[in-house]
């Protein structure tokens, strides 16, 4: 009896991946690129990857759809992408940094962190520019009262001072979650939303009045950025130590 891949002209019987191709064909995990080709040397796309994972899980029912704008309806990987997104498999940095950490690719972990940090900073820079140039336009989307618009615009200009530096805590917290270090990530979140901002808002409001509350936002982001770097470096120190001995 022939093997499952015998119909493919590009799969040699003595190829090192021959048995693996037979396995994925028999178990319905993958199909050929045509009736006679499998393309064993081709690169695997994200759509193909999540489709294989989805089939390995016996194609469970989709209970939540993703919000990806480049996901074309009706494509073979549509349901697989919805499933992967709902289960955190294609959620940006976290699975990537976690996978490379588990694989011992510590240099890649550092590269991913730096890349995400730069991306976050660029996004926050755009937000800063918008808040500085057209804060009144942003406020008018939520209210028509001129007094409220003016007060909100003034607040946005002050708060936006902390947008760019907040990229440090956002990237560090996300990276730590991807590395499975929930404790250090929680410390960063607590600093941003409780431990630093509440005392800062209290003290600054006493010193500068209501406007002090708005200033407490950028002060909090600046302080938390320093704390985030310290927490992140301490949490990934074993990674650096391991890579130095590899």
Residue 246 has a pLDDT of 33
pLDDT above 90: residue 125: yes
Distance separating alpha carbons of residues 106 and 96, to the nearest angstrom:
12
Task: Give the whole-angstrom CA distance, residue 111 versus residue 106.
Answer: 9
Report the distance separating Cα 168 and Cα 244, nearest Å: 25
| Per-residue pLDDT reduced to its tens digit, 188-207 | 999 999 999 999 999 999 99
Name the token pair of 155: 């607040």
Cβ-defined contacts of 104-107 (< 8 Å, 24+): 104/242, 104/246, 106/239, 106/240, 106/242, 106/243, 106/246, 107/243
Mean pLDDT of 87-111: 77
Could you give the CA distance from residue 59 to residue 105 in angstroms, rounded to a whole number? 31
- Mean pLDDT in residue range 179-183: 88
Chain segment 13-25, per-residue pLDDT in tens: 999 999 999 999 9
| Average pLDDT for 206-235 | 94
State pTM to two decimals: 0.63
CA angle 211, 217, 221 (to 5 degrees): 150
User: For residue range 51-75, what is the model confidence (pLDDT) as tens digits?
Assistant: 998 999 899 988 888 777 788 888 9
Tell me the pLDDT tens digit for each residue of 157-179. 999 999 999 999 999 998 998 88
């Amino acid at each position: 009896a022939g093997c499952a891949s015998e119909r493919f002209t590009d799969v040699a019987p003595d190829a090192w991946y021959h048995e693996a191709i037979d396995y994925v064909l028999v178990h319905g995990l993958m199909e050929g690129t045509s009736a006679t080709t499998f393309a064993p040397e081709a690169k695997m796309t994200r759509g193909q990857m999540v489709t294989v994972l989805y089939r390995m899980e016996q194609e469970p029912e989709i209970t939540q759809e993703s919000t990806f704008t480049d996901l074309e309806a009706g494509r073979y990987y549509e349901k697989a992408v919805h499933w992967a997104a709902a289960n955190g498999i294609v959620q940006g940095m976290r699975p990537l940094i976690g996978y490379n950490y588990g694989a011992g690719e510590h240099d890649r972990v550092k590269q991913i962190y730096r890349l995400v940090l730069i991306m976050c900073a660029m996004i926050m820079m755009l937000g800063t520019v918008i808040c500085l140039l057209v804060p009144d336009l942003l406020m008018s989307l939520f209210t028509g009262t001129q007094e409220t618009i003016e007060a909100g615009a003034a607040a946005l200009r002050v708060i936006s001072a902390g947008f760019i530096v907040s990229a440090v805590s956002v990237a560090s917290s996300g990276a730590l979650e991807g590395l499975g270090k929930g404790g250090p990530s929680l410390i960063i979140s607590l600093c941003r939303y409780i431990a630093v901002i509440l005392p800062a808002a209290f003290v600054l409001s006493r010193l500068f009045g209501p406007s002090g509350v708005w200033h407490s936002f950028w002060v909090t982001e600046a302080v938390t950025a320093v704390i985030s770097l310290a927490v992140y470096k301490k949490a990934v120190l074993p990674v650096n130590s391991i890579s130095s001995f590899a």
